Structure 1
Amino acid sequence: MGWQPNREVPTSLQQQIMDWMTDNIARGDWVVGTKLPTQRQLALQFGVNRSTVQQALEELKADGLLEAKVGSCVFVAENSWHVFVKQAQPNWQNYIEASLHKPNYHTIQLINEYEQRDDVIRLGTGELAPSLLPTAEIEASLQELSLQPTMLGYSSPQGSLSLRLAICEYVKKKGIQTAPQNVCIVSGALQALQLIAVGLLEQGSIVFQEETSYLNSVHPFQSVGMQMVPVVRDTHLHTTLKERKRKRQAIFYTVPTLNNPTGAVWSQTEREKLYDACKDLRIPIIEDDVYHELLFDDTTEPIKAMDESGQVLYIGSVSKTLSPGLRIGWVIGPSTVIERLADIKMQTDYGSSAISQEIVLHWLQTGKYEKHIESLRKTLQKRADYVVDLLKEKFAGIANWDQPKGGFYIWIKFHEPIVNKAFFMQLLQHLVLINPGFIYDPQDVHHVRLSYAYATLEDLKTGLEILYAIAIETIEHQ
């Protein structure tokens, strides 16, 4: 080791010594466990004071490259290679923390993770069980389709014209009158919300919603600087909206039919009241209507059916009814809005799957879709009745709930405030996964969103027995 620091350069002697030692370790000349000479020997070799060597060694020990062992000996540390790898990479954590999009709540991250496991009983999952998906029928549809070259290319900005025409015909049955230029095909309802957030609203805009809301469990608006404002739909609704909006841009998000997570269905009067208030205050409405087809008693029209001025942006999807894997939904709104959303969509994913669009078109045109929906509603109603019977048998003394009117969910409310993170984690330890109320309203410690659409009947029974046992144990220890 004949090297010595250069006193003629501006870099300090200590830093030169640290750089030289670091280079030796990085090149592999000094492997893990290499014993360094004593401080006195190093000072003599480098022609510097011992204190300079001591300070250099202390810095390298603090960096994890060197470690001191018994006595005064210093060695190359065992984790020195990992330190180099870390130093060679960008500080991705800083990038992540400074990024625009908000991370999911830890609870939702756990839900997303554990939903991938086959050994977990999923009591809260918001999708159809694999056994309820028309897999064989969709496979048969592929044989019936005539595959055109355009189906293997990119989709047009607003989506397949044929599919948009078919959607226009389909939504007429719900009282919605629209035209193809007013429809944009999207990859599910969540993408529709993301497109609206980045394509129509300025930062700082207000997004009105109910206190318990699906939007609290995802971040399409929060991540682009919107302010989420919960409101109560009471007799003061008009005044509340006016006072909170002031001169800022605002929009109202709602799921009036089979609300996620509560399962509530608004009356016609409630729909008219919101529509009139928002129309008067010029607040657009986002009507998320992805569960409408699953009403057990389909007598309710969407808010969009009363819209004559383009006030309502209407979102539909086949993800909850036919297949989430097809990734096909739609937005209905004024043509200028639809063109804007289509432009943003083309900048992000260059259009939804053309093959998926052809499958959905085939199901709408042949009547397969409505036939499937009719059968699915009956199956879901049987499942709902089954779960309600289980709840009556065990939970009547500790919780209450409303009879489900369709969709997937029962919004069960425990009498005691037991639904917290610890309660969620305890159930997870027993391989039972729930959707706790606090992911939809941070202040909610009473509710659980139960889904009767995913788990098998046997798993529903087992999962509810475990949920009951842990609820009783938690109540007794409060």
Structure 2
Amino acid sequence: MLHIDWLPNKKDTLPLYRQIYAYIKHEIRSGNWPINSKLPAQRSLAAIFKVNRSTVQTAIDELMADGLLESKPGSGIWIANNTWSLFSSPEQIDWNFYVESSTYRPNLPLIQEINRAEFKQNIIRLGTGELAPDLLPHKELTAILQKTSGNIKSFGYEQPQGLLFLREQLCIHLRKNGINVSPRSILIVSGALQALQLICLGLLPKDSKILLENPSYLLSLPLFQSMQVDFAEVPLDSEGINLRTLAYQQKLKKAALLYTIPTFHNPTSILMSEQRRHDLLQLCRENQLPILEDDVYRDLWLDSPAPPPLKSMDQDGLVLYIGSLSKAVSPGLRIGWVVGPEPVIEKLADMKMQNDYGSSCLSQYAAAEWLASGFHENHLRRIRAALCIKRQTCLDVLTQHFQEIASWHIPAGGFYIWLKLKEPISLPKLFKMALAENILLNPGSIYDPLSNRHLRLSYSYASSIELRNALERLAAMIKELN
């Protein structure tokens, strides 16, 4: 898809169609828009440029006359040439062939649109899974970075497994949740997503099957299909992953791994009960099924601390454990970790060195100082209090405006409310209606392709005023579509 972030200047003396002509010609000549790329429809271009469709048509007619564009019947307008090709060999590199032939799949179009829209001015991000800017610990991190700048002995590469000081601090941090490991059993990664990539690429045979909850965050990421990994989905109930179905799936699918988010699940916020955790671990032990536990939301409990992680009950090296500072502290630090048996950690560390030669040493020092300073617990108390207020704002509006059209459960932590509509509607249409009113949604179809009745609402990013305003308008849109 061609990226357009330009508008013609309506105060300029140059006619609008000539400005559009010059812009498109520049993008083609510079190579930003390769040969054989398709232009958006004229109606869409007119909306993007905020001009009449006839203005766009005039600019396109001139570009076609110059031989830069061509019309393909029933298929739209395509880039046919660039000015270099008028003076050189007719054989041109078709970069679109390379793009489309890659084994690495692009994001879903809906997710690409969400990623772009998140940075629009005045947008209310009603689905974003991160802390609001005013909840990030700016003052504390600034102090830590100032202190760290004088303490760093080297700005070179760190050990393959990551900064030893950080791994030592993580051992102390993990011990609070019952996970007792040495620094040798920890790998520092650039966020939890890199951990998932390394594990799938480095530990799983080709064409492996991963069992996972449905819905699931992983279903929104085509990169795993790019790595020739297949998914077998297991439903959830109020206590977590359904063990009866899991046992059947394991025998049926011969899976290589179970991926689970037992604590404040993404996107449903379901908290797996302690008994279910014991039963799950026992079932996987009996079937020799490794578990990948994604625990990035653990610190974000709002009512009471969550049950112990699966890893704390693991006596057989069955569980690989992923944690991160992205959700509770700062996504910009890009610091996460994997805990597992030493041979596994050594393999993943070797792979990470091949990929990026280690996470940023500056971020690692800052993260280590953050954990060592005592800032973490004070910060968590502050954001829990703020998230409780925002959660209550959401629940109040839902009770007032959504009872006739949807159902939900009260999350005990994390960021999300998994809203289930009582009647199926067109989620793409709702998404576009909301976006037109500067409300950005995360439809449930991102996390379950068959869903046409769910929305992942997040109370973590928008302000309480924005949440109330956006949810009230969203209720009116849903009622209009019913």
TM-score bin (small chain): 0.7 to 0.9
Equivalent pair of 1:197/1:220 in contact (CA under 8 Å): no
Q: Which among 92, 95, 103 is matched to residue 92 of structure 1?
A: 95
What is the match of residue 292 of structure 1? 298
What is the match of residue 449 of structure 1? 456
Residue 115 (structure 2) pairs with residue 112 (structure 1) = yes
Further displaced range: 92-101 or 148-157:
148-157
Q: What is the distance in 2 between the residues matched to 1:377 and 1:140?
A: 22
What residue identity is the alignment partner of 1:140? A
TM-score normalised by length of structure 2: 0.80
1:365-415 CA-to-partner distances (Å, cap 9, x unmatched) read 121111111221111111101111111111111111111211111111110
1:307-358 CA-to-partner distances (Å, cap 9, x unmatched) read 1111111000000011000000000000011011111111111111111111
Further displaced range: 458-467 or 252-261:
458-467
Residue 331 (structure 2) pairs with residue 328 (structure 1) = no
Equivalent pair of 1:216/1:440 in contact (CA under 8 Å): yes
Relative distance call for 1:88 and 1:115 in structure 2 (3 A) is farther
Relative distance call for 1:147 and 1:64 in structure 2 (3 A) is same
Relative distance call for 1:151 and 1:293 in structure 2 (3 A) is farther
- Written as runs of structure 1 = structure 2, the 5 A alignment for 1:72-471 is 81=83, 84=86, 89-145=92-148, 147-148=150-151, 150-232=153-235, 233-234=241-242, 236-237=244-245, 239-246=247-254, 250-296=256-302, 297-471=304-478
RMSD: 2.3
Aligned sequence identity (%) = 45
1:359 Cα offset (Å) = 1.2
Equivalent pair of 1:313/1:331 in contact (CA under 8 Å): yes
Equivalent pair of 1:159/1:352 in contact (CA under 8 Å): yes
Q: What is the distance in 2 between the residues matched to 1:79 and 1:161?
A: 55
1:112 Cα offset (Å) = 0.4
SS in 1 for 2:387: helix
1:220 Cα offset (Å) = 3.8
Relative distance call for 1:354 and 1:65 in structure 2 (3 A) is closer
1:83 Cα offset (Å) = 5.7
Relative distance call for 1:404 and 1:151 in structure 2 (3 A) is farther
Q: What is the distance in 2 between the residues matched to 1:440 and 1:261?
A: 7
SS in 1 for 2:93: coil
SS in 2 for 1:435: coil
Q: What is the distance in 1 between the residues matched to 2:249 and 2:277?
A: 15
1:82 Cα offset (Å) = 7.0
State the aligned residue count.
403
What is the match of residue 16 of structure 2? none
Relative distance call for 1:82 and 1:398 in structure 2 (3 A) is farther
Relative distance call for 1:238 and 1:392 in structure 2 (3 A) is closer
What residue identity is the alignment partner of 2:249? L
1:263-305 CA-to-partner distances (Å, cap 9, x unmatched) read 1100012112221222211111110000000011104111111
Equivalent pair of 2:209/2:253 in contact (CA under 8 Å): yes
SS in 2 for 1:316: strand
Q: What is the distance in 2 between the residues matched to 1:387 and 1:219?
A: 31
Q: What is the distance in 2 between the residues matched to 1:149 and 1:408?
A: 35
1:418 Cα offset (Å) = 1.5
Equivalent pair of 2:264/2:297 in contact (CA under 8 Å): yes
What is the match of residue 27 of structure 1? none
Q: What is the distance in 1 between the residues matched to 2:81 and 2:96?
A: 20
SS in 1 for 2:211: strand
Q: What is the distance in 2 between the residues matched to 1:317 and 1:275?
A: 22
The structure that has the greater radius of gyration is 1
SS in 2 for 1:145: helix
Relative distance call for 1:189 and 1:87 in structure 2 (3 A) is farther
SS in 2 for 1:330: strand
Q: What is the distance in 2 between the residues matched to 1:330 and 1:341?
A: 11
What is the match of residue 15 of structure 1? none
Equivalent pair of 2:161/2:349 in contact (CA under 8 Å): yes
SS in 2 for 1:313: strand
What is the match of residue 52 of structure 2? none
Equivalent pair of 1:263/1:409 in contact (CA under 8 Å): yes
Q: What is the distance in 2 between the residues matched to 1:106 and 1:441?
A: 15
Relative distance call for 1:428 and 1:405 in structure 2 (3 A) is same
1:80 Cα offset (Å) = 7.1
Stretches of structure 1 that go unaligned for 5 or more consecutive residues are 1-60, 68-77
Q: What is the distance in 2 between the residues matched to 1:135 and 1:468?
A: 35
SS in 1 for 2:337: strand
